Amino acid sequence: MQKRTLSQKLSFWAERGLLYTLLTTVALLMLFPLIYMVIASLKTTVDFNSNPRRLLPYTHVTEALAGRQEVPVYEFSVNDEEKRYLISQIDANNSDKSDFAYLGEVADLEAKVKLGSHAEQRRNIDVLGIIPIAYRNEEGQKIRIEDQTLTLIPTENIVQLAGNNSIFENFRVYDVFIDGELVQTWLDSIDQPVPLKAYMLPTIAEAGEELTIKVSEPITLLDARDSDRDYDSVIVSSPTQETTLVWAYNASIDVFLDQENPQNVIYAIESFVKPVEVIEFQFSNYEAVLGLADEPSLRMDRALVNTAFVTILVTIGQITTSLFGGYAFSRMRFRGRDTLFLVYLGSIMVPFVVLIVPIYRLMTALGWEDHLVSLIVPWIFTAYGTFLIRQFFITIPKELEEAALLDGCGRLRILWRIFIPLSTPALATHAIFTFLYAWNSFLWPLIIINTGNKEDQVLTLALITLGNINADKPNIVMTGAAVMILPPMIVFILAQRYFIEGIATSGLKG
Amino acid sequence: MATLTKPQAKSAFTPSLVLLLSMIWALAIAVYSIYLAWRIFNAEAFDVRESLGNTVQYFFGFLSLVPAVLGIFSALGFALLITNPERLNLYQRIADHELPPAQGIDRIPLLGRYVFLGLNYLGTVLSAFYLLHLWDVFIGLDEVAEAIYENRVLLWGLVGAYLLFWLSGKIIRLQRTLELIALAVGSISFILLLLFSGVHEALIYIAGQYDSLIVWIVTAVVIIFGIFTYNALQMGRTFGETPEQSIGWQGWMLVSPNVIGFGLFLAGPLLLSFYLSFTNAKVGQVPKFNGLENYTTIFSLQLREQKPEHQYPIEALDSDYSIVHTYKLGNTRYVLGARDARFWLSLENTLQFCLMLVPLATIPAIGLAVVLNSQLPGVKFYRALYFLPSVAAVVGTALIWRTALYSSQIGYLNYAIEQIINATNAIFGTDIENPQFGWLIDSRLQLFSVVLLTAWQIIGFNTVLFLAGLQGIPNALYEAASVDGASRWQQFRHITLPLLAPTTFFVVVTTIINALQVFNEPYVLYSREQQVPDTVATAVYHLYLKAFQSTSGNELGAASGFGYASAVAWVLFALIFSVTLLQFRVSRSGEER
């Protein structure tokens, strides 16, 4: 007996646990877009586009060396030790940077390019060598090596360079001859000029051997979609061997300074280096969208106020007209009432599609097009709401009203004193439906309000504009969506008890 | 009883004087409406902004003759009473229940009074509407919104007041105090808002409008109409009105806002739309009646065989037709063409959309509803959670899906698929390739993507409907079944599904009706493009282009403009209406059984 109860208990709890797990999983899946919207609205743009994907909002840590501008911090592992480095330049548009190129072997690159998307493969190309393709000589002139033969003499010096994933590799330093002349060169993006000659993989040449690099004819490679592209190629020759390399990737090389000892410099490509990040919520996104920051192209505050204004007026209007109508249809006997009610009920079946053109014409005739009034007045009359309220009023016992009538109460007083307090659930349902309908309406504002008219924009229109103009700032688009979606959600959560029961009993939609 | 309690109403005017004045006013209304009708009939440009054509002009001409007839009729009623004072006496006694009502009442004065009441009431409303228009109140709502925007800080006061009210319902102990504080905060910020938002400026502006004569006249007209309406309301006893009859006009007064709104924004537009669908109405063009031309254009379909001499399929069709589809049967190729090919393509898209949406939006909803249909604690919480997507604006959710889910590079949908494939490959050693779906780019997937988004939005709503249906199934049935040893699945299959059939039918029909009108989802998903791609252009989108974007190169052989768009709208209406009728038929026959 005891044992059986235990197993029953177990299966009972197992079933419950299973049910709740199922419910929670489905809820998480269903709500994922909304949850993500809220999280992403607190991200930075860089973080939004980060690869691999991550949910929480991370922000790049910035710090400043004494007396300088704040710059992002990166992490390197130097001799198995995690160290923090600051990037020396943050302005990507700064033309003072030198162009560098990755070189890859032809066959290797070809295989990779053919596999799939080129953009994807670019990242995985093994770095055979990095050489500067532009120098600045002592007179400050820029020299490009295209169409020139570059002669390199490996020196005994080795430089450490960060490759993929911030892992260091040793590179040999070379003396560079351009057309037979030794040129002293500097990288010009560094704070203090550090003479960097050039670097190649040490396997190609031994120290002291002379290397020549010659820009040769472009090589055409086919990618997975069979579209071809020309890649510049370079012939590197040492006394023992000759290799053809391809310019696989053009990038700017960044300079990283050791936080503790700024003389300690690392050269690496920024996108390959691991940034130092912390979880931080970007409430500034909301400030921008709500107009608290000075960014006119992102503001939606005017549209928010307009939408609230329109929605509240429409809701009040609908409630008023449907209260009167519902009361009359349920409690007053007048000639033609039932016919009128049937016709009115039938009008629920008329889809908005048929009314778009004529109401638009009506609005132009009244001179209301492009004004907020066109979003309010045509929508304060509702057959559906009248029907809903009437159905509810019918259930209220007649005796209550008759007593009041005998006491000499007027009809409006009865409506106000007896019917409204008794019908809170129906009114709440109707009010929330109207609220949602007015807040979310899109097609009508799209037709009647001009896109250029910033004064009379509502949220739906403003959000579309925001989404289209700022497609490069998806985090801001998410913030806009949150501003649009969250207020009705809060209203719904506060009143959902009435609301869901209201739908269930009326079985109709707004 | 009533006679004892009710004192005899002493009026400054004797009833006959009031009646005389009313009669004169009724005649004045009649004369003015005849004059108005004459003006309308002779007007060259009926509407200053955009002419709607002679038909509308004549319609309004005849419409304004109606008050003339009614005015004369009610004047006649008044005249009958004035010329026969004995009737007045008789009526008052009937009203005071001294005489039974059925005897000796002429219907004409009584009806005349109602007509007069209706005329004056409508007159008050319309002239007040016109007065508000002259005051620029309607357009002025923009200024109000602007003023609120300028003082938006004060809105927080209102929000705070609302929150305090909400809180007062939760904390019983402090209820009274919290309510008082909330009331104070709310009213202070409201008054400040009114003050700062320039009520006085608005009043000064309205006063400034009185420099033109017409505003004075209209104001006077409103006042006169109002006085006569009020007076006609009070004249019940004079006309021997019984309480039942009095309830009658009170009822009409109460529904009047709805009736006026119905006429202005539903019945009237519906008529106008019907009329426009038989014209060639366009922006900047006086509409001409062109019979059934719009409808024949829509329904012009052609199925032709592509003969060997036709190099391209389009050559098989008449010159103003374009291709909808080509079919291959054996060795012959058939070409289906239409004059408005895009209409048929968009209709096809819409129907495909319905076909895909209905199972996607109902089957999971049934499943969820069955799981949620238990008395377990917390179920209501989940029910509300599932409903949340239905609350969100399509514009917002479509943008979220576009950027966060459907994007082929950074979208979570592709990311999830990639993770699943990687996991499968790792566990089972298979070698499935990552498909890298282009949800919004791949023309085979585009429509499905729109369906997926829509289904996600309405599943919660449908779940609630199904839940309501499930709660109507008696529990005893399940108990009996489980006694008989039926499994869960058998119970679902043989009890739940059959008994849920009416709800399912209702949900499916509602989903179809809404799906036939889909516009927002495809529009927003592709709002960055010039136009929605042809694979997802829906019927309403086609209508939108035809009516409002007719200059943007969506012509393709067929007519466009308001007239043509109205015809398209009516065809759609017919389609939607037939679905609705079907629902009515079925649900009624279900009730009879």
pLDDT in tens, B57-111: 888 889 999 999 999 999 988 888 888 777 777 777 776 666 666 555 667 787 8
Name the pairing type of β-strands A71-78 and A168-178: unpaired
Q: Which residues of A touch B543 (CB under 8 A)?
A: 353, 356
Q: What six digits make up the tokens of A129?
A: 């060598």
Q: Which residues in chain A have their CB less than 8 angstroms from residue B125's CB?
A: none
Q: Where are the domains of chain B?
A: 14-141+208-241, 142-207, 301-338, 343-592
CATH of domain B343-592: 1.10.3720.10
Q: Which of A255, A110, A262 is nearest to A187 (CA)?
A: A255
Which residues have a Cβ under 8 Å from the Cβ of A263 and sit 6 or more positions away?
A: none
pLDDT of residue B450: 96
Element (H, E) at A153: strand A149-162
| pLDDT the model gives residue B45 | 60
Reported ipTM: 0.89
* Beta strand extents in B387-539 (DSSP E only): none
Place B267 in a pLDDT band, splitting at 50, 70 and 90. Answer: very high
Highest averaged pLDDT of the listed ranges A99-113, B85-99, B551-565: B85-99
Please report which confidence band the pLDDT of residue B194 belongs to, taking 50, 70 and 90 as the band edges.
confident
A314 token code pair:
């429409």
Above 70 in pLDDT, residue B116? yes
What pLDDT was estimated at residue B550? 59
Residue in this structure with the two tokens 């004087």, named with its chain if needed:
B17
Q: How many CB atoms lie within 10 A of CB B430?
A: 9
Query: Closest Cα partner for A53 from B435, B434, B402, B419?
Result: B419
Question: CB under 8 Å to B291, separation ≥6 — which residues?
Answer: B278
Polymer length of chain B: 593
The runs of H, that is alpha helices, within A332-458 are 337-346, 352-366, 373-376, 383-394, 398-406, 411-414, 420-422, 424-440, 443-448
Pick from A18-27, A62-71, A318-327, B40-49: least confident: B40-49
pLDDT tops 80 at residue B487: yes
Alpha carbon distance B477, A208 (integer Å):
95
Each domain of chain A, given as residue ranges in start order, spans 2-59, 71-275, 296-506
The confidence band for A157, taking pLDDT boundaries of 50, 70 and 90, is low
pLDDT of residue A230: 65
Q: Which residues of A298-336 are buried (b: 16+ CB within 10 A; e: fewer)?
A: bbbebbbbbbbbbbebbbebbbebbbbbbbbbbbbebee
Facing B393 at nearest CB: one of A48, A357, A485? A485
Chain A contacts of B516, Cβ < 8 Å?
351
Average pLDDT over residues B475-504: 89
A388-447 pLDDT tens trace: 899 889 888 888 888 888 887 788 888 888 888 888 888 888 898 899 999 999 999 999
The answer to whether B446 touches B452, Cβ cutoff 8 Å, is no
Q: Do B249 and A334 touch (CB under 8 A)?
A: yes
Q: Is a pLDDT exceeding 80 seen at residue A234? A: no
- Give the closest of A301, A378, A500 to B265, CB-based: A378
B593 vs B516, higher pLDDT: B516
Which one has a higher pLDDT value, B360 or B175?
B360
Beta bridge partners of A212: A151, A237
User: Is the alpha carbon torsion for B488, B490, B495, B499 positive or negative?
Assistant: positive
Q: Chain A to chain B, count of Cβ pairs less than 8 Å apart?
A: 317
Question: Average pLDDT, whole number, for chain B?
Answer: 85
Residue of B381, B391, B408 to mutate, interface with A, max A Cβ within 10 Å: B391
CATH number (1.10.1060.10, 3.40.50.300, 3.40.50.2300, 1.10.3720.10) of A296-506 reads 1.10.3720.10
Rounded Cα distance, A43 and B403, in Å: 14
Closest CA relative to residue A38, chosen from A361, A481, A454: A481
In this complex, do A455 and B254 lie within 8 Å of one another by their Cβ atoms?
no
CA angle B521, B525, B526 (to 5 degrees): 120
Q: Are A375 and A310 in contact (CB under 8 A)?
A: yes
**Range name among A198-202, B183-187, B355-359, B537-541 with the lowest pLDDT average:** A198-202
| Closest chain A CA to residue B5 | A408
Question: Which pLDDT score, from 0 to 100, does residue A98 have?
Answer: 39
**CA A145: distance to chain centroid?**
41
Report the alpha-carbon distance of residue B478 to residue B480 in Å, rounded: 5
Phi and psi angles of residue B395, each rounded to the nearest 5 degrees, phi first: -60, -45
**Least confident piece of the model among A190-194, A266-270, A332-336, A494-498:** A190-194
- Indicate yes or no: CB of A301 within 8 angstroms of CB of B152: yes
**Lowest mean per-residue pLDDT among A234-238, A331-335, A391-395:** A234-238
Confirm or reject contact between B480 and chain A (CB < 8 A): no
* Average pLDDT value for chain A: 74
pLDDT of residue A423: 86
B166 touches chain A (CB under 8 A): yes
Confidence of residue B217 (pLDDT cuts 50, 70, 90): very high
Residues from chain B contacting residue A472 (CB–CB below 8 Å): none
- For residue A72, is pLDDT > 70? yes
Residue with tokens 């919290």: B178
pLDDT one-digit tens code per residue, B246-265: 888 888 989 999 999 999 99
pLDDT at B356: 96
Nearest CA in chain A to B469: A504
pLDDT of residue A267: 59
Residues B385-416: pLDDT tens digits? 999 999 999 999 999 999 889 988 788 998 89
DSSP H or E run through A170 = strand A168-178
CA-to-CA distance for A337 and B256, rounded, in angstroms? 12
Which residue among B244, B393, B461 sits closest to A439, beta carbon to beta carbon? B393
Give percent above pLDDT 70 in chain A. Answer: 61
By C-alpha distance, the chain B residue nearest A438 is B393
Q: In the block, which residue shows the tokens 């129907």?
A: B351
Nearest residue on chain A to B468, judged by CA atoms?
A: A504
Residue to substitute from B114, B262, B395, B407, interface A, most A β-carbons within 10 A: B395
What's A77-113 look like in SS3?
EECCEEEEEEECCCCCCCCCCCEEEEEEEHHHHHHHH
- The minimal CB distance from A507 to the residues B374, B436, B468 is found for B468
pLDDT at residue A166, rounded to an integer: 42
Q: Which whole-number Å values give the CA distances from B586 to B350, B351, B505, B569, B583, in the listed order?
A: 24, 21, 9, 26, 5
Of B148, B506, B562, which has the smallest distance from its Cβ to A361's Cβ? B562
B405–A334: do the CB atoms touch at under 8 Å? no
Residues 27-66 of B with CB under 8 A from A: 47, 49-50, 52
Q: Provide the pLDDT confidence category of residue A246 given band limits of 50, 70 and 90.
A: low
B566 to chain A: which residues are within 8 Å by CB? 354, 357-358
Query: What is the rounded average pLDDT of the residues B299-320?
Result: 85
Cα A365 from Cα A368, distance rounded (Å): 8
pLDDT category, B347, cuts 50, 70, 90? very high
pLDDT at A154: 60
Q: Are strands A81-87 and A199-200 parallel, antiparallel or unpaired?
A: unpaired
Cβ neighbours, 10 Å, residue B461: 23
**Least CB–CB distance from B255: residue in A20, A27, A325:** A325
Express each pLDDT in A114-134 by its tens digit: 554 333 333 333 334 444 444
